[in-house]
Structures are given as C-alpha cells and as structure tokens.
Amino acid sequence: MNSTLSMGGISVFVIYFIIVALYGYYVYKKKSKVNDSKNFFLAEGSLTWWAIGASIIASNISAEQFIGMSGEGFFAGIAVAVYEWLGAAVLILVAVFFMPVYIKNKIYTMPQFLKNRYNGSVALIMSVFWIFLYVFINLTSILYLGALAINGLIGGDYFHIVMICLAVFAIIITLGGMRVIGYTDVIQVGVLIIGGLATTYMTLTIVGEKFGVGSEAIAGFKVLLREAPEHFHLMLAKPKPGASQVDINKYLILPAVGMYAAGQWISNLNYWGCNQYITQRALGADLQTARTGILFASLLKILMPVIVMLPGIIAYVLYKGGHLQLTGGKDSAYSAILSLLPPELKGLAAAALTAAIVASLAGKCNSISTIFTLDIYKKHINTLSSEQRMVWTGRIAIVISMVVAVLFTWNDLLGIGRAGGYTFVQKYTSYISPGVFATFILGMFWKRTNSIAAFTGIIFGFVISVFFNEFAVKVFGPETILYTAFPNMDGIYEIPFFICLSWSFIITVLVMVGTSILGPRINPKAFELDAEMFKLKPSSIVLIVSIMLLLIAIYARFW
C-alpha cells in the first residue's frame, strides 16, 4: 500500500491540530495567570484528577513508546510490556507513599525536595543532572523517533522538516504554561488512545485477512499466538551455552529474573516517583486529587501495551509471513504497520502519534524550564527576580532547550538509531537512577540520612553505574558472583543494564547507610511522617484493588 496520506487523512490530521491549538489558546486566555510563576510552572490547584491522570500518560507515552516499544515488541515480544504493567503497579506506590510526603512538605520541584531535605549543593548538582538528561536523552530521542515515524508515514524525505514542525508545535503549547499543557493533554490522550486502538484493531483484521482466517480482530490475535508463540512470554530465559545471538540480544535488554528482582522496580520507582516532568502534574493539587489522578494514570497504563507494543508483534508476524516490508531496523516496525492502514485512518494514526510526541515534548520542556527557573535562576542567579521575569526566563529556557535538542538530533549525533530508541533511553537513564532513587527513598523514610550521604550517593551511584556498564567486564571478566556478561551484536561482552542498575543501587544504598551512621542519629532536616498521611479513602482502595486484579490476571495468562 502507498504510505502517503490521502486528502482525507490530511484533513483528519489538520482538524486535530486546529482543535488542540484553539483549546490551548482558550485555556491560555481564560484560565491562565501567565505572570504568576507557580501557575505558569505548576498550574497550582487548578488541575482536576482526570486532567492530572491524562497529562501524566500524555507526557509518558511518546515516540519512545510508539516507535521504540513497538520496535522492541517486534524484536522481543510481550516481555517488553513489563515497562508498562510494572509501571502501573509502581504508580500505586507513588500515589500511596510518595505523594503524601511531597504534598505535606509543599514540594513543587524535585531539586526543592533535595534542598529542603539535604542542602542547596545536592539540589544544584541534581538540577544540572536532570536538565542534561531531559535535553540530551529525552528530548533528542523523542524528536528523532517521532520524526522518523511521521516521515515514514507521509512518505518522501521530510525527516528534518518534520522534526522542526514537532519542535515548534511543542514550543507553542509549552509557552502557555502548565495549565495549557495539562488541559490540552486531555485531548492529546483521547486522540492517542482512540487512534492507537483503531490502529491496533485494523492491523489485527489485516493479519486475519492475510492468513486466511477472516477479518475479525480476535481471529487476527489468534494468528499472532499461533505464528509467534515465543513473543508471548513475559519472562525471557537466561541464555544457555550455544544460544543464538538473537536470544542473547533479547536477554541483554530484558534479563529475566534479574529484571524483576530489582532493576525494573528501581527504574520505575525513580521514573514515576522522583521525576519532575511526571510528578509535576500532581504537585500543585491537594492529596486526594493527586492520588486519584495518579491512580487513574495507573489504570490507563494497563491499556498502553495494546497501543504501543502489540503493533510490533503484528509487524513481526506479517514480516515473517512475507506480508510486510521493513525499510529499516526494528524501529521502523510501527511506520511499516501504519502503511497498511486505509488512507483516512492514516490521518487518525498520524494525529495519535503526533499527540503523543508533542505532549511528551511539551511536558519535558516545561520541566526543564521549571527546574532551571525555580531551582537555578531564582536561587543562584537572580534571587530578587520578579514573577513576570521568572515566567519569561522559563519561556526562554523552553526555546533554548528545544533548539539544542534539535541540533543534536539533526544528524543523530548520539547514535539513537543504532542503539534502538527505547533501549537507548532506558540504558542511559539507568546511569543516574540508582543514586537518585537511593537519595530520595532514604531521604523520605529514614531520618538518619544526611547531606553528606546524599552527595556521596548521587555521585557514587553515577560512577558505579558507569563502571558496571562500561568497565566491569574488562576488569573482572565476563562472569562473577554479581553478574554474567554476554557478547552483544558487535562481539563485545556486555552486562544487561538492568543487572547493572540493580547492583549499582544496592551498593549505593550500603554506602549511603554507612555514611549516615557516622552522623547524628536523627537529621534535623528529616521530614516528619505520621500514619494519617498514608490513610486511603474507600474510592482509592477500590481503584487500587481493581488495578491489582487486572495486573494479576494479565501475569497469570502470559507468565
């Protein structure tokens, strides 16, 4: 089928763009206090639970998922859905245990948490860490994968033009502030889910037709189970001697028990609980609204693999059966699937993909500007800055961060295409996750943790992560009591990065505990906790039980 959009498809896409733009302008003019920094950066007190939940998912689901996770679904199958389904469970923990600590202590940014709990030096170090991470890992990967997918959908060689258009669209939305982002994200998530489900449904019917079992989606899904049974296991076995390179490569990114034992939990808890552009949606709300919004996001999260992972398995089965061509590597799987859609539905699919990309870019840009303005500019550059100047500083930070990301993405200077988009983001984020999460979790729930331990944990956690990922095999060999390394596609022995993350976290925690024991028994800057903070209303309990039952049913079926 021709991959270009028809006039009908273009019309659907244009209608989506106009609706989002007009609604964003309405929110900006009628609801936003644009000269108030807390309203601009946090939409303080104005987001409803459904807006918080939708905005969290909109910021999370982006090109990394649509393109990267579909690519990993093509390669490794349903095991990659652990990111989504374990993420849903982790969001429950964040809603129940993390948000009360943040909201009771009036925390608006993650560096502010570090300053209040430890000191300004720890907060400044992490502010710089986060800005570099968001610009050079998150923004670049979203721009690269998003431009790659949409270019493949429209046909031709428009990669750089698409990239610029995505960046400009995201900047326009972000300049309106957090309230505009939060409420336009409701539309973005609606388009994302409707377009994503429609894409999955239609491609399943195509699978059924291609394999001669009818045009029903259920029949198409049964074909997937029959033709690719190895793609429907949530647990990938550790490679045995003589294993194929394909099986080894799968294990390197999704290392079976080692992934579930610690690595995935640490990665998810750090991402969902200690991440500015995720928690920012809820930090301006009261506790119950924040909790309900996060639990709503958890419920939506369970649905996401159907939208962002299953198309990859569909692409694999069609490719294996000779019914689909891939013009590139695994990250081209989603674009290839979209090329099979009817012309009008391509417009909806393009709108869904663009909604995910733009919402995530806007969320990350807003977090970059929030951290820079509130935690660097206001505290270290211009302490007497007016509210209006802070808002404009935030806007300038938005534009500069996006320009830098575009420049580094232009010729893929960071090698996103070679690494595989989703793995690229997860691996390099895991370099700072152990130290950051150890610093947050001990800071919240162990009063003895002190600022020296926090400083040591952040730096040591990063250094030990780099050591495990880059140098451990060279120093200790391919197998020790802590890990087993396997040769990657270049023949270089590599430890699965989730194993590296696990050991880095455990060792970092031990170092921080040892450092804290040398200090006072109770840190005077420790947060006060009480049982009342963690009590749940019946509506929250019902939501949590429903989510857990759904997750148990899924794991019972595919384990």
Closest CA to 485 of 476, 477, 495: 495
Q: How far apart (Å, rounded) are the C-alpha atoms in residues 303 and 323?
A: 27
Q: Strand pairing of 486-487 and 493-494?
A: antiparallel
Tens digit of each residue's pLDDT (9 = 90 or more) over 428-439: 788 888 999 999
Q: How far apart (Å, rounded) are the C-alpha atoms in residues 223 and 212?
A: 10
User: 424 vs 215, which has greater pLDDT?
Assistant: 215
DSSP state of 554: H
Amino acid, single-letter form, for residue 446:
W
- Give me the mean pLDDT over the 285-304 stretch: 93
The pLDDT value recorded for residue 40 is: 65
Amino acid, single-letter form, for residue 30:
K
The pLDDT value recorded for residue 418 is: 59
Tens digit of each residue's pLDDT (9 = 90 or more) over 109-157: 888 899 999 998 889 988 888 898 889 888 888 888 888 878 777 767 8
Backbone angles phi, psi at 261, to 5 degrees: -65, -40
- Give me the mean pLDDT over the 347-367 stretch: 80
User: 319 vs 158, which has greater pLDDT?
Assistant: 319
Tell me: pLDDT of 1 over 50. no
**Are 141 and 63 within 8 A, CB to CB?**
yes
Domains detected in the chain: 7-12+45-380+395-558 (1.20.1730.10)
Count of H-run helices and E-run strands, the chain: 29, 2
pLDDT-based confidence at residue 544 (cuts at 50, 70, 90):
very high
Backbone angles phi, psi at 76, to 5 degrees: -115, -15
Model's pTM, two decimal places?
Answer: 0.86
Tens digit of each residue's pLDDT (9 = 90 or more) over 37-85: 666 666 555 678 888 888 888 777 776 777 778 888 999 999 999 989 9
Tens digit of each residue's pLDDT (9 = 90 or more) over 448-493: 999 999 999 999 999 999 999 999 999 999 999 999 999 988 889 9
pLDDT-based confidence at residue 300 (cuts at 50, 70, 90):
very high
**Are 260 and 555 within 8 A, CB to CB?**
no
User: 474 vs 357, which has greater pLDDT?
Assistant: 474
**Which span out of 237-246, 252-261, 290-299, 523-532 was modeled with the highest average pLDDT?**
290-299
